[in-house]
Chain A
Amino acid sequence: MSTIDWLVMTGTLATIVIYGVLKTRSVDNVKSYLLGDRDLKWWTIGLSVMATQASAITFLSTPGQAYNSGLGFAQFYFGLPIAMVILCVFVLPIYYRLEVYTAYEYLESRFDVRVRTMTALLFLIQRGLAAGITIYAPAIILSSILGWSLGLTIFLIGIVVIFYTVMGGTKAVSVTQRQQMIVILLGMVAAGVVVVSKLPEGVGMGDALNVAGSLGKLEVIDFKFDLNDRYNLWSAMLGGTFLFLSYFGTDQSQVQRYLSGKSLTESRLGLLFNGIFKVPMQFLVLFVGIMVFVFFLFAAPPVHFNTANLEKVRQSEYATELVGLEEEYKELSATTSAASTALVEALRTDDMARSSQAKAALSAAVANRDEVAEKVDALIKNVDAEAITEDRDYVFITFIINYLPIGLVGLLLAVIFSAAMSSTSSELNALATTTLVDIYRRSLVKNKTDAHYFKASKALTIMWGCVALGFAAVANLFDNLIQAVNIIGSLFYGVILGVFVVAFFFKKIGSKSVLSGALIAEAFVMLTFVATYLEMFNLAYLWLNLIGCVLTVVLAWFFSSGSKVVKRMIGVKG
């Protein structure tokens, strides 16, 4: 990496962190530390909510997802605008009226302290696990670029985030996120423009789209109803809406962002801003991935994108075999490039037969290339049976490092770091807040001074930072980072949402019923996930959100009054 890139990257990141620390020097009490004086305007809330969700994983994994599977992943976000409207109508007014610090605080006023504690603990478990993954994602990049050890890289990233989150609390998180999100959006647009400009002379954006479309990469919408299919319109609209309702309505890392708003109006506008712009933003990120795919049809990609895996093979007895496969891959890439050019020319004519022939030739060339890549994957497995051969998370970063001009490489790396820092800081802030407000101050150490709880908030932020660093160290166990985060979320979000649905809409159901219902539903969701993991049956993970939520509500109703109704029905029939 050039000196200019280093200067751009460190300069951008340092400016954001220093700005965040300077803007929050006056934070000296618990309320200000956890709620940020409640003075944020809607655009800061909107960008902060967006930045919390858009982790580095989003910018590493998502273009790779498009590279491999096309634009279908965009459907995952289709439930988000619906969820935003539902939250603005039903949930935000209640949080504002009760002036709560956390979402779980509301549950005590509705049920009792047991339900509040259980839900807070479910949140702490799932968010604590996910925080580790959001640090791990950018660490794998830096470690591979700089040749640093992964452990050291994870430690350095974690320390910077912990530093400014501990210093300024929730306000530091929000004001830095606003700057980070601006850098992220600028960086992704720049990457999109550069990738299109890097296409061969005479091949324009329209040609690139025609080629990608011919290979089935531009199918955004899938109407087919299939429980096993991770991304289709129905799983997105049903499962996705439940996931986002739970994530934005009950996950403290998001709730804390909009509770810092100056008023209910500012918070609502902040969420609706996301409802309008989140889907197009994700589409943009996926679209960049598609352009990278087309770019690598004309230019030869590496036979495997994870250089660390290739290095292992080079140091082994299979090194010669790898060199042979790399040569073969290079030749096939030349064939692929020629076939792509032929398809571009064919598509410009109205000759259907010629287009079909060119398309078949390109598909065959890509398939041949993939076959060689699979042989390399097998070599990697021979050298290290535990190695992860899935390399889509490395696609975009490989493009950034090798093909972006000097200066933009630094900016794009700053984008990935900004994304990692913004989502991790929100998570640490939320984990510390929930632990302090819902567990420590509520049940463990009551009636202490504000100064005591202020110090405890900072100590808890450091503690959760250390936990996240610990999980980051073992995050390589997951084969795809973005899915790992979403799967972990789906295991808990449904039940948490179910508890909140009962709280909001079933006023006659009491704490004992909802507590029993939630515990049984969580056990059922876990067993279902284990059964799918063991391939006893197939079920896409988004459905776990719906199952957890519906089961919690139904069981809570059954334990509350449903059992009496059922007994009466049986009695009547008998």
Chain B
Amino acid sequence: MSDPEVTNPNDETPPILGSWKNIYTVVLVLHVVLIILFYLFSNAYA
């Protein structure tokens, strides 16, 4: 028997990009892009 009080919080859909998986991917991709930009910045002024 399932507990009606407990809903699956993962069911909440995000306001943009359709799913949480997409949002997480965007955050991580942006992070990788930022690290690459830092690398290029370091090299440009080395």
A interface residues, Cβ below 8 angstroms from B: 71, 74, 78, 81-82, 84-85, 88-89, 92-93, 96-97, 209-210, 212-214, 216, 218-221, 263-265, 268-269, 272, 275-276, 279-280, 283
Residues of B within 8 A of A276 (CB): 27, 30-31
In the bound complex, what is the Cα–Cα distance between A265 and B20 (angstroms)?
9
Shortest CB–CB separation between residue B11 and chain A, in angstroms? 10
**CB-CB nearest in chain B for A72:** B42
**A–B complex contacts, Cβ < 8 Å, 8 sampled:** A82-B28, A82-B31, A85-B24, A89-B20, A93-B9, A212-B45, A213-B45, A275-B31
Residues of B within 8 A of A218 (CB): 41-42, 45-46
Shortest CB–CB separation between residue B46 and chain A, in angstroms? 6
> Are A219 and B28 closer than 8 Å at their CB atoms?
no
In the bound complex, what is the Cα–Cα distance between A92 and B23 (angstroms)?
16
Closest 7 pairs between A and B when the two form their complex, measured CB to CB: A213-B45, A220-B38, A93-B9, A81-B31, A218-B45, A264-B9, A85-B24
In the bound complex, what is the Cα–Cα distance between A205 and B39 (angstroms)?
19
**CB-CB nearest in chain A for B32:** A81
In the bound complex, what is the Cα–Cα distance between A74 and B9 (angstroms)?
34
Render B2-44 as a binary contact track against A, CB cut-off 8 A, 1 for contact.
0000101110111100001001100110110011001101101
- Given that A264-B9, A265-B12, A272-B23 are contacting pairs, would A221 and B42 also be in contact in the complex, using a CB cutoff of 8 Å? yes
> Are A263 and B12 closer than 8 Å at their CB atoms?
yes
> Are A84 and B27 closer than 8 Å at their CB atoms?
yes
- Given that A275-B27, A279-B34 are contacting pairs, would A269 and B42 also be in contact in the complex, using a CB cutoff of 8 Å? no
Residues of B within 8 A of A89 (CB): 20, 24
In the bound complex, what is the Cα–Cα distance between A209 and B46 (angstroms)?
10
In the bound complex, what is the Cα–Cα distance between A214 and B23 (angstroms)?
39
Shortest CB–CB separation between residue A109 and chain B, in angstroms? 13
- Given that A97-B6, A218-B45 are contacting pairs, would A85 and B28 also be in contact in the complex, using a CB cutoff of 8 Å? yes
Shortest CB–CB separation between residue B15 and chain A, in angstroms? 7
In the bound complex, what is the Cα–Cα distance between A221 and B24 (angstroms)?
24
> Are B46 and A265 closer than 8 Å at their CB atoms?
no
> Are A81 and B9 closer than 8 Å at their CB atoms?
no
Shortest CB–CB separation between residue A458 and chain B, in angstroms? 32
In the bound complex, what is the Cα–Cα distance between A210 and B42 (angstroms)?
11
Residues of B within 8 A of A210 (CB): 45
CB-contact partner of A213 in B23, B34, B46, under 8 A: B46
Residues of A within 8 A of B9 (CB): 92-93, 96-97, 264
Shortest CB–CB separation between residue B28 and chain A, in angstroms? 6
Residues of A within 8 A of B31 (CB): 78, 81-82, 275-276, 279
Residues of B within 8 A of A216 (CB): 46
In the bound complex, what is the Cα–Cα distance between A88 and B15 (angstroms)?
15
Shortest CB–CB separation between residue A10 and chain B, in angstroms? 38
Residues of A within 8 A of B41 (CB): 218, 220
CB-contact partner of A220 in B10, B14, B15, B42, under 8 A: B42
Residues of A within 8 A of B34 (CB): 279-280
In the bound complex, what is the Cα–Cα distance between A210 and B8 (angstroms)?
54
> Are A85 and B27 closer than 8 Å at their CB atoms?
yes
Shortest CB–CB separation between residue A330 and chain B, in angstroms? 29
**CB-CB nearest in chain B for A271:** B27
> Are B28 and A81 closer than 8 Å at their CB atoms?
yes
In the bound complex, what is the Cα–Cα distance between A93 and B6 (angstroms)?
11
**CB-CB nearest in chain A for B34:** A279
In the bound complex, what is the Cα–Cα distance between A212 and B46 (angstroms)?
9
Residues of A within 8 A of B45 (CB): 209-210, 212-214, 218
In the bound complex, what is the Cα–Cα distance between A212 and B35 (angstroms)?
20
Residues of B within 8 A of A221 (CB): 35, 38-39, 42
